[in-house]
Amino acid sequence: MDLSEDILQYILSGLSTGAIYAVIGLGFAIIYNSTSIINFAQGEFVMLGGMLTLFFHVTLFLSLPFSIFLAVLVATAVGALFERLAISPLKNADPLILVIITIGGSILIRGIAMLLWGKDTYVLPMFSGDEPIVLWGATLMPQNFWIFGITLIIIVANRLFFHHSIIGKAMRACSFNRVASSLVGINVKHTVLFSFAISSALGAAAGIIIAPLTMTSYDVGIMLGLKGFCAAIIGGMSGGIGTVAGGLIVGVLESLGAGLISSGYKDAIAFIILLLILFLRPQGLFVKGDTERV
Amino acid sequence: MLRIESITKIFGGLKALDEVSFTISAGEITGIIGPNGAGKTTLFNIVTGIYSPTSGKVFYEGKDITGFPPEKLAGLSMVRTFQGIELFGRMTVLENVMVGLHTKSRSGIIASAFKLPGHVREERRIRERASSWLEFAGLADLANTEAANLPFGKGRLLEIARAMAIEPHIILMDEPAAGLNSRETSDLADLIKKIKESGITVALVEHDMDLVMEICDRIVVLNLGHKLAEGSPREIQEDEKVITAYLGED
Amino acid sequence: MKQELLKFFLFTALIGIAPVFIGKGYLINVFVFVGIYTILAVALNLLLGLAGQISLGQAAFFGLGAYISGVLTATHAVNPWLSMVIAVVTVGIIAFILGFPILKLKGHYLAMATLGMGIIVYIIFNETVDITGGPSGLSGIPHLSLGGIIFNSDLKNYYLVWFFAVTIILLSVNLAASRIGRALRAIHDSEVAARIMGVNARLLKVQIFSISGVISALAGSLYAHTVTFISPTSFGFNVSIELLTMVIIGGLGSIYGSFLGAAILTLLPEFFRTFQDYDIIVYGLTLIVITMFMPGGLVRGVPLLFRSLFKKEPMPQSNEKRG
C-alpha cells in the first residue's frame, strides 16, 4: 500500500466514526436548544445503546433487529426518566447546578452499567457479515455502510421532524422563545421531555451501529460523548448540517492524526480541536460572529 | 459631564439606537423616557460598557470612554443600577455594600490570605464605611440579612446604597421605581433628591411619569431608537411629538 | 472573627492529636491521603465555591505537580524541596496562561473546556513514556527531608501533609472572608454587577484559577514524595469527578466542608471493602441527591435538617437563580 491509499483508508474510516459523532452531536444540540443545558450524560446513552443490544441479543438470545429496537426503547425511557427525576424539578437552576446534576447522572448511569455488566469489553456482531469490501485500495467493512446509511436516515428524519412535524416545530419555537411559545399554547415541559427522549434515542442508535466495529464496555460513553459534543460545538450547537460537518471533521482529523502521527494521541486530537473551537470560535465554525457582549 | 455623540447600535440587523446624541449636565437629574423598545436600556448598557456601540462615541468628564469595560468606569466614578436589581444574593446586605467599596480599597490576594496588618486595618475601615452607607439608605437594621431574602423594595435601596459606596460622580439608574408601591416610590424620590444634593449627577430611565416630572431637571425622550425630544419637564409635557408617540396614532 | 480563629485552633488541635487515636497502623496512611485530598478539595472550592467557576480538570494540575516533582527528583536528582517549588511555580504559570482563554467561557462550556484540558494532560502523561514512564508509572521518587528528619514513615508523612493542609485551610478561610473573597463571591452571584462595582472579574477569575492550580500542584508534589511512585491513573478524569463530589458533599464555599468531603470519600472505601466496586454509583448519586436536596452541602444542610426535624420548620428549597 502506498501513502495515498493509506490516506484514503484513514479518511473513509474517519468519515465512518465521524458520522457517529455527528449523530451524538445532534443529540447534544437538541437538548441544548430546548433547555440551554449541555447534557453531560449524553455519552452514556451511546454506551447504553451498545450494551443493551448486546444484552438482549447475546444474553437473552433475541434476534438482532428486535434487540436493537428494544435497546433504543429502553435507552429512550432512561433518558426520559432522567429528565423527569433530575432535570425537571430544577427548572430555573443556576447553570452550575445543572452541570453538576448531569455529570452526576452520567456517572450514575455508567456505574449502574458497570454493576450490571462488569468492566469487560464486549463485541457486538456485525449487522451483515465481516467480509471486507475493497474500494480503491481501501478496505471497508459492511458495517461502515450500515453506519453511513443509518446516519443519513437519522439526519434526514431529524430534519423532517424539526421542520415539518407539529411537535418538531413546537420544539424549535421553544428554543427561540420559551415565554412566547407557552403563550401560544405549546407545553414547554413536554418539549423538554421530548428533547431528552429524542436525544437519548439518537445516542443509543449511534452506540449500536458503532459497537460492532469498536467494541463496547461500560465506560465508552465518556469519550464518544465528548467527541459528539465537539461535533456539536463546531456546528455552533445548531443541530443542523453544521453539526454533521463537525462530526465528520473531527472523525477524519482524528483518524488521519492517529494514522500519520501517533495512535496514542488519537483522543487528544479531538480535545485539542474542542479547545481551539471554544477559545477561538465558540459560536461555531459556520456561523457569522454576532454582536459580542462584553 | 456625560456627552453621548451619535450613538448607533445594531443587533442582528436591527437598529436599537440610531444616531442618538445628547448631553447630561453635571449636578442635574436627567430623565430618559420613551415607550418600550425605545432603546433606553441599550443606551445605558453602552454608556456603562456592557455593550460596545456599532458607531458613535461617549465622552465622560471630557474623556472619550467609548468601549471602556465597566470595571474601568467604576474606577472613574461612574456607576449604575439595574432594572431587575442585580444583588449578590448569597451575601449579606452589609457585604453587598462592602463590594461597592472595592475600588476604595486595595488589599491583594497575598495580603488577604496572610491577614497582613494593613489589610486588617483596611477591612475595619471598609466595614465602617459600608455601615454608614446602609445608614444613608435606611437599611442599617438589615445589615446581616442575606440579600436574597430582602423584600423587593429594600433590595432596590440596597442596590442604590451599594452604588453610592463607590462615591460616584454620576449614577445611572435603570427604572428605579419599577415594582415599587407608591410609598416606596416617594421614599425613592426623596433618596434620589438627597443624592443630587450631595453633588452627584443622576441619569435615570423611568416609566413612572409622575416621578420623572417631579424630580428631573431635564428629560430626553427616545422613540424607536431615535431621540424624539429634549427639554425641561414642562417643555416635554407640551411637546406634540412626544404626546403622539406615547398615545399612539392608530 | 474570633469565632473563626477558635474554630481553626480547635481543628488544628484535633488534627494534631488524631494520630494518638488512629494508631500507627494502616489507618494513619489513609489519613495521609485525607490530607492530600483535603488540599485538593479546598483548591477546587476556592474556584467553584467562591468564584462559581467549575473545573473538571483539577486532576491535571495535581498530576503536573506530581510529575514535575517526581521527574526532577527521580530522574534528574534535583533536591525535593526545590523540585516542589519548581512544580508549584510552573503549574501556577501554566494555569495563569491557560486561564485567560478558559475563563472567558462560562457554565457548561467552561466545564467542557476544563474537562478537555484534563484529558489532554492525562494522555500526555501516558504517551510521553521517555519522561513519565507512561502507563507503568514512575518510581524511585525520594522522600522529603528536613534537618535530618526523613519523611519516610506514615506518621511523619501525616504531620508533613497536614502541616500544609492546615496552612492552606487557614489561608483559604482568610481569603474567603476578605475583600478578594467578597469580590469572588460577587462574581459568582452577578458578574455584571461585580464589574459595575469595579471588580476586574476577568483577571480575578484567572488569578483564582491559577491559585487553585498552584495549591493542586503542591498536593501533587506532596503525593509524589510521600507515595514515591506515581502513575497516570491517579490523575485521570475520575479524580477530577471525585474532587468535585468532595466539594459538593461539604458544601460550595465551605472550606471546612471540603475537609469533611475529602475525609468521607477517602475513608468510605476503607470501611466498606465492596465500596470500590460501586464507587462511581455513590459519586453519581451523591452529586445528584446533595445538589437537589441539600444545595449547601453537609456543613450547612445537616444543621438545617435537624432544625426542620425538631422544630418542624420547612426545609428551605434551593433558591439558586439562573445567572
CATH code assigned at A134: 1.10.3470
Does residue B111 sit in the same domain as residue B75? Answer: no
8 A C-beta contact, residue C61 and residue C89: no
Q: Which residue has the cell 405549546?
A: A186
Are residues B173 and B241 both part of a single domain?
A: yes
* Residue from the list B71, B89, B126 with its beta carbon closest to the beta carbon of C199: B71
Question: From the CA of A94, how many Å to the nearest CA of chain C?
Answer: 4
Separation CA B116–CA B112 (nearest Å): 7
Q: What pLDDT score does A290 carry?
A: 45
Residues of B in contact with A292 (CB under 8 A): 52
| Residue A10 pLDDT exceeds 60 | yes
The pLDDT, as a whole number, for residue C241 is: 92
Cβ(B7)–Cβ(B58) below 8 Å = yes
B13 and B67 within one domain: yes
pLDDT, average across residues B123-152: 94
- Chain C residues in contact with A40 by the CB 8 A cut-off are 111
Instruction: Supply the mean pLDDT for chain A.
Output: 88
Mean pLDDT of C158-187: 96
Answer for the pair B25, B218: CB distance below 8 angstroms, yes or no. Answer: yes
Q: Using an 8 Å Cβ cutoff, are A24 and A17 in contact?
A: no
Same domain? For B137 and B193 the reply is: no
The values of phi and psi at residue C106, to 5°, are -125, 155
- Can you tell me the mean pLDDT for B140-151? 94
pLDDT of residue C201: 96
* pLDDT tens column, A31-55: 998 888 899 999 999 999 999 999 9
**Residue whose entry in the numeric block shows the C-alpha cell 443606551:** B43
Say what the pLDDT of residue B73 is: 95
- Is residue B161 domain-resident? no
pLDDT in tens, C46-84: 999 999 999 999 999 999 999 999 999 999 999 999 999
Highest average pLDDT, of A2-16, A52-66, A118-132, C85-99, comes from C85-99
Report which of residues C107 and B29 the model is more confident about.
B29
Residue B50: its chain A contacts at CB < 8 A? 293-294
* Chain B interface, best mutation among C179, C204, C322, by max B CB count within 10 A: C179
The pLDDT > 90 percentage for chain C reads: 78
How far, CA to CA in Å, does C194 sit from each of A69, A117, B48, B159, C147? 52, 49, 13, 12, 48
Residue B182 has pLDDT above 80, yes or no: yes
My answer on whether B75 and B176 are in the same domain is yes
Q: Choose among C207, C290, C292: nearest CA to C244.
A: C290
Chains with at least 3 CB pairs less than 8 angstroms from chain B: A, C
**Rounded Cα distance, A110 and C214, in Å:** 32
**Residue B65 sits in the same domain as residue B116:** no
For residues B10 and B82, membership in a common domain is answered with yes
- Cell of residue C160, nine digits: 508533613
- The proportion of chain A whose per-residue pLDDT surpasses 70, expressed as a percent, equals 97
- Tell me, yes or no, whether B158 lies in a domain: no
Q: Which residues of A touch C277 (CB under 8 A)?
A: 114-115
Confidence (pLDDT) at A246: 94
pLDDT for C242: 93
Looking at residue C15, its amino acid is I
Considering the domain boundaries, does residue A9 fall inside one?
yes
Determine, for residues A294 and B12 on separate chains, whether the beta-carbon distance falls below 8 Å. Answer: no
pLDDT at C319: 42
Q: Do C175 and B95 touch (CB under 8 A)?
A: no
Q: CA distances (Å), B77 to each of B48, B201, B250, C195, C225, in order?
A: 11, 11, 44, 13, 51
Given this model, what pLDDT does residue C233 score?
94
Question: Which of B169-173, B185-189, B221-225, C317-321 shows the highest mean pLDDT?
Answer: B169-173
Based on its alpha-carbon atoms, the radius of gyration of chain C, rounded to whole angstroms, reads 20
pLDDT of residue A181: 77
Q: How confident is the model at residue B241 (pLDDT cuts 50, 70, 90)?
A: confident
**Lowest mean pLDDT, pick from A65-69, B67-71, C2-6, C192-196:** C2-6
pLDDT > 90? residue C172: yes
Residue A132 lies in a domain: yes
User: Contact, A178 vs A91, CB < 8 A?
Assistant: no
Our CA-based measurement puts residue A36 at a distance from the nearest CA of chain B, in whole angstroms, of 20
> What residues of chain B have any CB closer than 8 angstroms to a CB in chain A?
10-12, 49-52, 69-70
Q: Which residue of C has its CA nearest to B84?
A: C193
Q: How far apart are CA B38 and CA B228, in angstroms?
A: 10
> Would an 8 Å CB–CB cutoff place A101 in contact with chain C?
yes
| A-C Cβ pairs (cutoff 8 Å, strict) | 139
The pLDDT score that the predictor gives to residue A215 is: 86
For residue B35, give the CATH number of its domain. 3.40.50.300
The 10s digit of each residue's pLDDT in A17-33 is 999 999 999 999 999 98
The ipTM value here is: 0.93
Q: Structural domain tally of chain A?
A: 1
Which of these ranges, B8-17, B110-119, C4-13, C185-194, has the smallest mean pLDDT? Answer: B8-17
Q: How confident is the model at residue A294 (pLDDT cuts 50, 70, 90)?
A: very low
pLDDT of residue C158: 96
Coil, strand or helix: which one is A128? coil
Q: What is the pLDDT of residues B19-61, one digit of tens each?
A: 999 999 999 999 999 888 888 999 999 999 999 999 999 999 9
Contact between chains at B12 and A291 (C-beta distance less than 8 A):
yes
Is the domain of B80 the same as that of B6? yes
Same domain, B16 and B134: no
State how far the alpha carbon of C294 is from the alpha carbons of A11, B135, C56, C311, in Å.
50, 35, 21, 18
CB A247 within 8 A of CB A163: no
Question: What residues make up the domain containing B228?
Answer: 2-87+168-247
Q: Where exactly are the structural domains of chain C? A: 2-274
Per-residue model confidence (pLDDT) at position A265: 87
With an 8 Å Cβ cutoff, are C123 and A264 in contact?
yes
Question: Is the pLDDT confidence value at B115 over 50?
Answer: yes
pLDDT > 70 in chain C, percent: 95
- pLDDT at site A6: 86
C-alpha cell at A228: 459528539
Q: What is the pLDDT of residue B248?
A: 60
Q: pLDDT of C217-276, one tens digit each?
A: 999 999 999 999 999 999 999 999 999 999 999 999 999 999 999 999 999 888 776 777
CA distance C86 to chain A (A): 26
Read off the pLDDT of residues A262-283 as tens digits, 9 standing for 90 and up.
Answer: 888 888 998 999 999 999 988 8
How close C292 comes to chain A (CA, Å)?
8
Quick check: A230 and A274 in contact, CB under 8 A?
yes
B172 and B83 within one domain? yes
Longest dimension (CA), chain A: 63
Q: Is the pLDDT of residue C152 over 50?
A: yes
Mean pLDDT of C290-308: 83
Which amino acid appears at position C229 of this protein? F
Residue B181 belongs to a domain: yes
Q: Residue A123 sits in which domain range?
A: 3-280
| pLDDT over 50 at A285, yes or no | yes
The count of structural domains within chain B is 2
Residue B247 has pLDDT above 70, yes or no: no
Local confidence band at A225 (pLDDT 50, 70, 90 cut-offs) = very high
Q: Is residue B175 part of a domain?
A: yes
Q: In terms of CATH architecture, what is C2-274? A: Orthogonal Bundle (1.10)
